[in-house]
Amino acid sequence: MDTLAALPVQALHGLVYGMLLFLVASGLTLIFGMMGVLNFAHGALYMLGAYFSFSILQWTGQFWLSLLVAPLLVALAGALIERFLLRKVHSYGHAHELLLTFGVAYIIEELVKIFWGNEPLRVVLPALLAGSIPLLGIEYPVYRLFILGVSIVVFIIMFFVLYKTRAGIIVRASVANKRMVDALGFNVPLVFLVLFGMGAWLAGLAGVIGGPYLITNPAMASTIIIDLFVVVVVGGLGSIQGALIASLLIGQLQSIGILVLPQFAIFFEFLLMALVLIFRPHGLMGESK
């Protein structure tokens, strides 16, 4: 297949990876963009979701059960990190958050190696998702389309909750003016605890569906963390729509870049970030402050 003929298929690959990246980055957008918490451990939470899912699948043989339970376990881990670690250093600034979450990420990675080993793990998919269908002239894996569908559904739900419900109004108000929301009788620390747990849940969900796609291995966290921060910066802090646009752009830049100029594929996303920082420092959809 020549380059021109392969372009639509490669663009579809980029769309799938971009939407998976959005699923992870949307959680980081909630935590970093809305709470102002520099969470370097977000990639590790994503990895933890993949490994929890693998173990549940090994014990029960039920992929759908792992899809339900593993993100909840990651959300619990995230809530514990926020309550007993991050809350203690949040007032000291981003440097303390960075050091703390970097340490948490390192500990999680080492625990993963201790309990699951260093070798990549093969995840057995249910029969419903294991096949392929004719698409764009090739047999395209059903599982990649499943990733695409889940990510789209999550975006729709997040947008509705954050912008169309009372809970979303409280969250956004807590970010904008903590003192005012606290004066109105709302428990702002509890709001942030739930928000952090939600961000961790999204990372765990992405890990569950991303593990079989990108291979479950201890390098998952370090592989994706750079892309995540590029998405948050390019999309704009706290903007779910911006995270979606940035994720899709980076997915296409990587996928098409590998096809056209493979030796420069990784360069394109950093070029995009540099251009955004120069011409629109607050991000594509972020608000200037």
Query: Per-residue DSSP letters for 106-171?
Result: HHHHHHHHHHH-SS-BPPPPPHHHH-EEEETTEEEEHHHHHHHHHHHHHHHHHHHHHHHSHHHHHH
Which pLDDT score, from 0 to 100, does residue 163 have? 82
Flag whether 189 is in a domain. Answer: yes
pLDDT band at 249 (very low <50, low <70, confident <90, very high): very high
Flag whether 16 is in a domain. Answer: yes
Instruction: With beta carbons less than 8 A apart as the criterion, state whether 125 and 143 touch.
Output: yes
Flag whether 89 is in a domain. Answer: yes
What range does the domain containing 187 cover? 3-279
The angle formed by the CA atoms of residues 157, 64 and 39, to the nearest 5 degrees, is 55
Q: How far apart are CA 241 and CA 234, in angstroms?
A: 11
Which pLDDT score, from 0 to 100, does residue 98 have? 87
146-153 long-range contacts, Cβ below 8 Å, gap at least 24?
146/209, 147/16, 147/19, 147/20, 147/209, 147/210, 147/213, 148/15, 148/16, 148/19, 150/23, 150/205, 150/209, 151/19, 151/20, 151/22, 151/23, 152/19
Q: Which residues contact 189 (CB under 8 A, 6 or more apart)?
A: 87
Flag whether 289 is in a domain. Answer: no
Write out pLDDT tens, residues 146-180: 999 999 999 999 888 888 888 778 777 776 677 77
Instruction: Identify the residue with better confidence: 162 or 99.
Output: 99
**Which tokens go with 70?**
């593993």
Count CB neighbours of 182 within 10 A: 14
Count CB neighbours of 127 within 10 A: 8
Length of the chain: 289
Flag whether 286 is in a domain. Answer: no
In angstroms and rounded to an integer, the radius of gyration of the C-alpha atoms of the chain is 19
Bridge partners of 133? 140
The Cβ-side half-sphere exposure at 172, using a 13 Å CA radius, reads 15
Count CB neighbours of 121 within 10 A: 18
Of 6, 49, 18, nearest in space to 148 by CA: 18
Write out pLDDT tens, residues 110-156: 999 999 999 999 888 888 998 899 887 788 999 999 999 999 999 99
Instruction: Identify the residue with better confidence: 90 or 101.
Output: 101
**Which tokens go with 230?**
């590029």
Flag whether 284 is in a domain. Answer: no
Flag whether 285 is in a domain. Answer: no
Flag whether 7 is in a domain. Answer: yes
The domain that holds 117 is classified in CATH as 1.10.3470
> What's the gap between Cα 110 and its chain centre?
21
Check: pTM over 0.95? Answer yes or no.
Answer: no
Report how many domains make up the chain: 1
Of the candidate ranges 179-183, 198-202, 206-210, 231-235, the one whose mean pLDDT is the lowest: 179-183
